[in-house]
Structure 1
């Protein structure tokens, strides 16, 4: 027995010794950063890179933490469903006294359970959305030179469950976070790093991490099946599509229209081939396979296709068709839908994150009492328009049974006619 305790003592001493050595080798002092305009500018670049505007509008986030704690966060309502083991807590983050706790589905009055859920939420949500919290109340930002590059040091002086913690964000060339180094009360070693590189682009237009890998013994934190979406915005979009008979639009085979009397179109929508005509040109355009397109000049087919003319036709079609069918494109790939309040009316903001000729543009749709679009405000990425309004008026029901607009009016009184609009099969 004495030999056993002697052996156990040696093991304990070795573990302690290893821990001390590991601490002195890996512990890093908190770097000193410089506060001020440069730090704020770097933080704003990071904020723009992660699309914080979409995060602010996000309605629901879902994730789990290490496969143990599960969450459904109704962010706009400041309400979270926290679940672990046989426990579930409906947590109201801004009004804790309203919180409710359940065990095996039965309601219980357990304040300790609610506090435990609160602590879980603060910790586990930080691992999900920390990049979006760099401007939270009680934060300080400073700029640090880290390995020859600018890094952002964020210190939480208040709030959350561990005020006083600091995080050094390492950014890529686009100011997108790839990792951070931590100085926290819960981890005794300073400078432990964690990756922020395994991202998932969500329906709400924001990116969320699927997992993190720590430098501390290679530990990995899984965030489960992360989701972010906007059900209220989707519900409003669905009402718009129903109002404009979108199902009939999907089945429409041919659409014809003109644009301000300057250009005309005949679109074989079923095969996605369109005749684009302007001046003396007509292009038989294949938007999805542009090399198959052919060019006609004064009615004669060009033997050598002019690529510039084809590109011109492609640009024209993308622009001019948008003014005809944009309300039918609310669920296109790369589209983010969010709720807006404009002039005391509930409106739908649609942001195009990819596709078309100007990804990044957004449009806020104002609706009539039947959810038919009556106008939109335009916000173009290039800055040329920042809330510029245009009407969507004189809707017709086409032969194919869908609704399409025939005219638009701008704030300066200018008008844009879509000509004789047809939709048929």
Structure 2
């Protein structure tokens, strides 16, 4: 028996020594940093890289944490549906007293479990959206040098379940976070790192991590099937498409119009060929295989199409067709949609992340009582437009049955006519 106790004592001593050595080697002191404009500027760059505006507009987030806790977060309504084991909680994040608990489908008033759900959410949502929360109330930002590069130290002075924790965000050359180091009350070792990679581009436009790997013992945190989307914005977009007879638009083969009387178009949507003409130039533009395009001067076919002219025709078509059919293209790839309030009514904010001539542009559509677009505000950085207002008016029902606008008016009084608009088969 004495030998057994001696063995246990030696084993405990070895464990203590190994633990102490591990702590001594891996523990890092909290770095010092400088608060102020430089730290805030770095934080803004990180938010911009992640598209912080898209996060603010995101309606619903779904994920799981280690395949144990499952979440549907209706962010705009401040409601989270949490489930684990035999429990389900509808958590009201702003009014926790309204939260509801169900155990095996039966309602319960067990407040300890509701508090546990709140703590789960505080922890597990951090691993999903922490970089988007760096300007929340109770946060302090400092700039720190890490391996000769600027890093961002965030300290939570209040809020959450463990105020006082600090996180040092390591950024790449584009200011996207790649990892962070932690100084928290629940981890005794300072400076434990975790990856912030394997980012997924969601439908709402935000980048969310699908898993994390920790430096301590190679632990991994799986975030499950991560999703971010805007359900109500999609519903509003569908109402717009229904109002402008989009199903008829999809079946329309030919569209004809002009742009301010200066440029003229005939578009064969089936063959993806557009006849674009201005001045003495006419281009048969093959939108899918641009190299096949042909150029005419004074109706004389050029033996070799001038690539500069073809490129100009392509740019003209991208711009001028937008003014005719933009509302019909709300569900194309690379388009982010969210809802904003304008004069107390729902408006649709549309951002183009790819395609066209100037990806990154945004348009805020206001609608009439029948969901037909009546105007938009343009946010086009390349043209220094920051909310320029333009009407979409004099809609007509074409021969093919779809709706298209024939006029636009700018806030400065300038009118843009689309000419004699036609849609037919």
TM-score interval, smaller chain? over 0.9
- Shift in Å, 1:292: 1.7
2:149 matched residue in structure 1: 149
2:243 paired residue number: 243
CA distance in 1: counterparts of 2:196 and 2:395, whole angstroms: 48
Matching residue of 1:329 = 329
Q: Within 5 A, what are the aligned runs for 1:298-309?
A: 298-309=298-309
Pairwise mapping of residues 241-320 of structure 1 onto structure 2 (< 5 A)? 241-320=241-320
Give the structure 2 partner of residue 232 of structure 1: 232
Counterpart of 2:59?
A: 59
Q: What is the CA–CA distance in structure 2 between the aligned matches of 1:173 and 1:249, rounded to whole Å?
A: 44
Deviation at 1:354, TM superposition (A): 1.2
Unaligned runs of 5+ in 1: none
**Residues of 1 paired with 2:401 and 2:310: CA distance?**
32
Map 1:6-405 → 2, pairs under 5 A: 6-382=6-382, 384-405=384-405
1:410 equivalent in structure 2: 410
- My pick for the range that moved more, 294-303 or 323-332, is 294-303
Q: Secondary structure at the match of 2:381?
A: coil
Q: Shift of the alpha carbon at 1:250?
A: 1.1
Q: RMSD between aligned alpha carbons?
A: 1.1
Per the alignment, residue 419 of structure 2 pairs with: 419
| CA positional deviation for 1:345 | 2.1
Shift of 1:47: 1.4
Structure-2 separation of matches of 1:39 and 1:204:
28
Q: Distance in 2 between matches of 1:238 and 1:15?
A: 63
Q: Partners of 1:17 and 1:288 in 2: how far apart? A: 69
Q: What's the CA shift for 1:4? A: 4.4
CA distance in 2, matches of 1:399, 1:6: 96
User: How big is the shift at 1:382?
Assistant: 2.8
Secondary structure of the corresponding residue to residue 167 of structure 2: strand
Give CA deviations for 1:265-322 in whole Å, capped at 9, x if unaligned. 1111112111111111111112222112111111122112211111100100000000
1:123-148 per-position Cα deviation (integer Å, ceiling 9, x unaligned)? 00000000001111011111001101
Q: Structure 1 residue 383: deviation in Å?
A: 5.8
CA distance in 1 between partners of 2:126 and 2:387 (Å): 34
Q: 1:5 to 1:292 in 2, by over 3 A?
A: farther
Counterpart secondary structure, 1:332: coil
TM-score normalised by length of structure 1:
0.98
Quote how far apart the aligned CAs of 1:235 are: 1.0
Higher alpha-carbon deviation: 281-290 or 317-326: 281-290
Deviation at 1:410, TM superposition (A): 0.9
Q: Say which is worse superposed, 315-324 or 345-354, in terms of deviation.
A: 345-354
Counterparts of 2:289 and 2:4 in 1: how far apart (Å)? 77
